[in-house]
Chain A
Amino acid sequence: MTSKAADFLVYDEAAKVYRENPEQAVRDDVEKHSWKHIGLTILKDWRLYLMLVPMLLVFLLWRYLPMYELLGCFKVPDEVKPVADQLFSGFSYFKRLLVGGAGDSMSTEFWRALRNTFLLSFYGLCFGFPMPILLALFFNEIRSNIVRSTCQVLTYLPKFMSTVVMTSLVTMLVKQGSLTSSMGVISQALSGLGLISEEVAMKGLLNNPAFFRAIYQISGVWEGAGYDSIVYFAAIIAISPTSYEAAQIDGAGKMSQMRYVVLPSILSTIVIMLITRIGSLLNVGYEKVLLLYNTNTYQTADVVSTFAQRYGLEGAQKGLAAAAEMMNNVIGMLLVISANTIARKASDTSLY
């Protein structure tokens, strides 16, 4: 009830002095012994605690120490001094990013980047998320093992490319045309089918802000849908055949079987995957964006991480860039935690 300091010293009205509290002395004694006990346990079991050391060191040095550099968000930059000794500058960077000022386009750019980050993941959630589930349902329909395995291996294939190789391939397939070299083969096909005009295709689809999001999502589905379907497919083949038979006897058609047998069985998997997806709404794979975007497409392609990369690493506005990314990451963390809490309340499935 009372705080520790009040416990420790008691004011004696009669003697008009502070007296030591005997109970606190006991508590101190226990605490001292418990630390001694902890020390002894660790000493006795030193091998186990020694094993923890490399992991703690790696995470401390290269995951937690960078967080210390975040102090730079509140400091006047100085090349010579370490971040702790730099002058405090208040929330000026945050103010500049969020509110902006006259003749300063930084806040417009930041809001654009935040919006793009959200939209890229949101579209990924709308289009990229259902695709693996659909694929798994389709795989389940194919009874011939050879056909199914072939299809599965083919759809997993793109996952085995690195981001650099994948983006290089995408870049080449939709590249611009010129007098000496033709446009990429996908651009040719699209303009041949009349889906896009020839001038647009000639200029290169990656130079056109209108196409960036589509290219990002389609290449994402191409790369990941097959591989992501593994987990759903595993859940579907775990369903006992008797469930289907029971449903058939009750007169369920294919659609009703889907609705009442398959979907409930894979629901927990879907929920877990959905939490992960929602949690990482503000965590776009910046490497892919960085490799696909260019000055022409900042309007739709620039996300917060690339914004930070451009101003912090290529430019010299380190504090500003760090502030931008910190806001993004803090909101992202809150999203993960809340998605997880909601899922735990609603369906007893949660990640952490």
Chain B
Amino acid sequence: MKRKLETSELIFKVISYTLLCVFSLACLYPFVYAISASISGADAVDYGKVVLFPKDIQFEAFAQMFNDNMFWNSYSNTLFLTFYGTIWALFVAILGAYALSKRRLLFRRFFNFFLVFTMLFSAGIVPQYLNYLDTKAVFNAAGITDDKWLVVIAMGMAAMNIILLRNAFEGVPSEIEEAAVVDGATEFQVLSKVYIPMSKSTIATVALFFAISRWNGYFWARQMISNSNEHPLQVFIRLKLEYYTDPEAMAGWNAVYSSDSVIYALIVCSIVPILIIYPFIQKYFAKGVNAGGVKE
């Protein structure tokens, strides 16, 4: 049975549809523009003729970037940091969260406070910097000259993610664990055979959060990684932006593509991989938001 809409309802619907469409298009537009500008000719970009669709199509800007070894280098560095960083963070977080989820753990309140306090108060940039410098000295003394390992081991741990995991582990029914213990499972077996399989989706969400923060990491990577061969993608993009928007450096620019197109091409290249995997990770994303919203 179709009900007739009341006037107020109709007005609200019209407003919703219009505003949502406008906002969605506004969200999309910068990307479309970036793609168009990255493949448009020099004159079209420099004289501001590109508005929505590309003009005088060229792919030289992309070609120039793909021929740049540093670009591939930075990409592989980012993959390195994301891969090992996520594994290390998950390792630490899962073990810690499992222990914290046990009611029989002594000093449980103290350990919880130990975690939560880091969410409330942070020492700040300068003390952290000095601390990382000390860590770096220790790493170098131990023969690890590759600063990437410093970023992997020392950075990117988040108390919030451990608490998410802990809450998930607390939700696992204790009868199953008791059954495993009766069958002679050790603590590690209980964790790997019972807890991890039973909270797979939370672990995936947390892994995603870690991976994203690694992929996006910029500030500390730029501060602590001294060798430019080891810079991750984000630092590479920023350095390129600083270089290509410097009028003095660009004074003698003469190519079939605009210097702006290089930046846009870089932006497009850094977004595309995420867009490709987005459909697969979307559900964990939404779940993580809900889990993060309500805590005990």
A interface residues (Cβ-Cβ under 8 A, vs B):
38, 41-42, 45, 47-49, 51-52, 54-56, 58-59, 61-70, 72, 83, 135, 137-139, 141-142, 150-151, 154-155, 157-158, 160-165, 168-169, 171-173, 175, 177-178, 180-183, 185, 188, 222, 225-228, 230-231, 234, 253-255, 269, 272-273, 286-287, 290-291, 305, 308-309, 312-313, 318, 321-322, 325-326, 328-330, 332-333, 336-337, 351-352
Contact = CB atoms under 8 A, between A and B. Distances in A.
B128 interface: yes
Nearest to A188: B48
B210 interface: no
B121 A185 contact: no
A51 B96 contact: yes
Q: Which of B100, B111, B122, B127 gathers most chain A CB within 10 Å?
A: B127
Interface of B: 6, 8-9, 11-13, 15-17, 19-21, 23-28, 30-31, 33-34, 45-48, 50-51, 91-93, 95-96, 98-100, 102, 104-106, 111, 114-116, 118, 120-132, 135, 154-155, 157, 159, 162, 186-188, 191, 215-216, 218-219, 223, 234-235, 237-238, 241, 245, 247, 250, 253, 258-260, 263-264, 266-267, 270-271, 274-275, 278, 286, 289-290, 293-295
A115 B204 CA distance: 40
Given A47-B186, A168-B263, A269-B293, A66 B33 contact: no
Given A62-B135, A162-B215, A272-B294, A141 B130 contact: no
A161 B271 contact: yes
Contacts of B290: 230-231, 234
B288 to A, nearest CB: 10
Given A52-B96, A154-B28, A325-B126, A175 B245 contact: yes
A61 B130 contact: no
Given A226-B23, A313-B125, 19 more contacts: A55-B99, A62-B132, A62-B154, A66-B131, A67-B121, A70-B124, A72-B130, A141-B12, A168-B267, A169-B34, A181-B45, A181-B46, A181-B259, A226-B27, A254-B8, A305-B125, A313-B126, A313-B223, A352-B295
Nearest to B235: A164
Contacts of A326: 123-124
A351 B114 contact: no
A70 B218 contact: no
B120 A165 contact: no
